[in-house]
């Protein structure tokens, strides 16, 4: 499914007209930064970016690919959790941008950034800390109940749960670990940081929506990057999603049918993923070291 069809950034002439209006009043006099104005002035963008079901902006660190995604998200009013670098000029810059839609954008659409991934990992670590404390308490409870000094008679229906605990603790077919697992939520510490990060995408991405992913490979191992690639492809094929992604991960760049804009080229152009400099670096490295395998 395609929701965002085209997007155009302001031309150099439009930026200049805004910054230096014919009234002679320079709008920069009260500010120290005009970002994002001027960021792409030396780079020739296409008149219009055209989008497919998966569109990727690829470039080196500092190339502006995250800013491109932030401008698109701001213009489309896509919801997000993490803040981003913006100035008082950001709204005015977004106002100069233009876009066309093929389908109405669902309110489920959202921006997912590497900061969101990092927060997910931290949240799970905080949960784990609480789980470890609760586990110690349940172990002590199990030992106490196994000792046999606890009254197992029911004193009304409110005692039913307590009675079940005693029965489970004294059941010789139930080990301590089984008892703890039955009393405790799934121990999320069994997930690695990468698996926890991957779970964010699985939980956040719903059917029939547009998602803007800013370097989603952060915190993911190569294996989990591949898992994310397959998940995104499945979300497009079977669940009506559209993705706009910034990345330099070769695994994500190989997403099937992705339209890839090479932001490092001037003028910016569409490239095959195998022709991108960041992918060629990997290939050359492995070619040079193939004798080690």
Please report the pLDDT score of residue 128 as a whole number: 55
4-116+206-292, CATH topology level: Rossmann fold (3.40.50)
Q: What's the chain's Rg over C-alpha atoms?
A: 26
Query: What is residue 246's three-state secondary structure?
Result: strand
E strand map for 174-222: 210-214
Please report the pLDDT score of residue 11 as a whole number: 92
Report the Cα 35 to chain-centroid distance in Å.
Answer: 24
Highest mean pLDDT among 76-90, 159-173, 241-255: 241-255
Phi first, then psi: what are they for 6, rounded to 5°? -140, 155
Helical residues (DSSP H) of the chain, grouped into ranges: 12-19, 65-76, 90-96, 114-146, 160-170, 176-183, 193-204, 222-239, 250-253, 277-288
How is the chain split into domains, by residue range? 4-116+206-292, 118-190
Residues in the chain: 293
Q: Please, which pLDDT band fits residue 85 given cuts at 50, 70 and 90?
A: confident
**pLDDT tens column, 8-29:** 999 999 998 888 887 655 555 5
Residue 257's contacts (CB-CB under 8 Å, 6 or more residues apart) are 52, 53, 54
**Structure-derived torsion over alpha carbons of residues 219, 224, 225, 229, reported in degrees to the nearest 10:** -140
More confidently predicted of 122 and 290: 290
Cα–Cα distances in angstroms (integers) from residue 192 to residues 71, 187, 197, 231, in the given order = 33, 12, 9, 18
> Tokens 């009260």 appear where?
30
> Tokens 């999320």 appear where?
188
Between strands 54-58 and 242-246, the pairing is: parallel
Please report the pLDDT score of residue 34 as a whole number: 86
Please report the pLDDT score of residue 164 as a whole number: 56
Please report the pLDDT score of residue 202 as a whole number: 84
Give the tokens for residue 32.
């120290």
Whether the predicted pLDDT of 192 surpasses 80: no
Whether 245 contacts 57, CB under 8 Å: yes
Considering Cα of 138, then 142, then 145, then 147, what sign does the dihedral take? Answer: negative
Considering Cα of 85, then 89, then 94, then 97, what sign does the dihedral take? Answer: negative
**pLDDT tens column, 196-254:** 678 788 888 999 999 999 999 987 889 889 989 999 999 999 999 999 999 999 999 99
Average pLDDT, the chain: 80
């Amino acid at each position: 499914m395609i929701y965002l069809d085209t997007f155009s950034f302001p031309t150099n002439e439009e930026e200049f007209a805004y910054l230096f209006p014919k009234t002679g009043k320079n709008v920069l006099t009260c500010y120290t930064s005009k970002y994002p104005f001027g960021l792409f002035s030396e780079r020739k963008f296409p008149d219009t970016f055209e989008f497919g079901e998966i569109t990727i902006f690829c470039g080196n660190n500092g190339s502006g690919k995250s800013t491109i995604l932030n401008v698109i998200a701001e213009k489309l009013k896509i919801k997000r959790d993490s803040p981003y670098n913006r100035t008082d000029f950001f709204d005015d810059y977004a106002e100069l941008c233009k876009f066309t839609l093929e389908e109405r954008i669902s309110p489920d659409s959202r921006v997912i950034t590497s900061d969101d991934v990092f927060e997910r990992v931290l949240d799970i670590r905080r949960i784990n800390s609480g789980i470890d404390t609760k586990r110690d308490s349940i172990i002590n409870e199990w030992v106490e109940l196994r000792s046999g000094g606890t009254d197992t008679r029911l004193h009304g229906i409110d005692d039913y749960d307590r009675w079940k605990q005693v029965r489970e603790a004294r059941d010789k077919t139930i080990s301590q670990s089984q008892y703890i697992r039955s009393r405790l939520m799934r121990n999320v510490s069994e997930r690695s940081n990468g698996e926890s990060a991957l779970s964010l995408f699985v939980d956040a991405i719903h059917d029939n929506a547009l998602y803007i992913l800013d370097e989603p490979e952060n915190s993911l191992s190569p294996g989990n990057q591949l898992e994310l690639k397959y998940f995104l492809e499945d979300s497009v094929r079977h669940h009506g999603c559209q993705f706009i992604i910034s990345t330099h991960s070769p695994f994500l760049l190989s997403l099937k049918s992705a339209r890839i804009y090479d932001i490092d080229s001037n003028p910016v152009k569409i490239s095959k993923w195998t022709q991108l400099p960041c992918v060629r670096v990997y290939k050359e490295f492995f070619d040079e070291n193939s004798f080690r395998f």
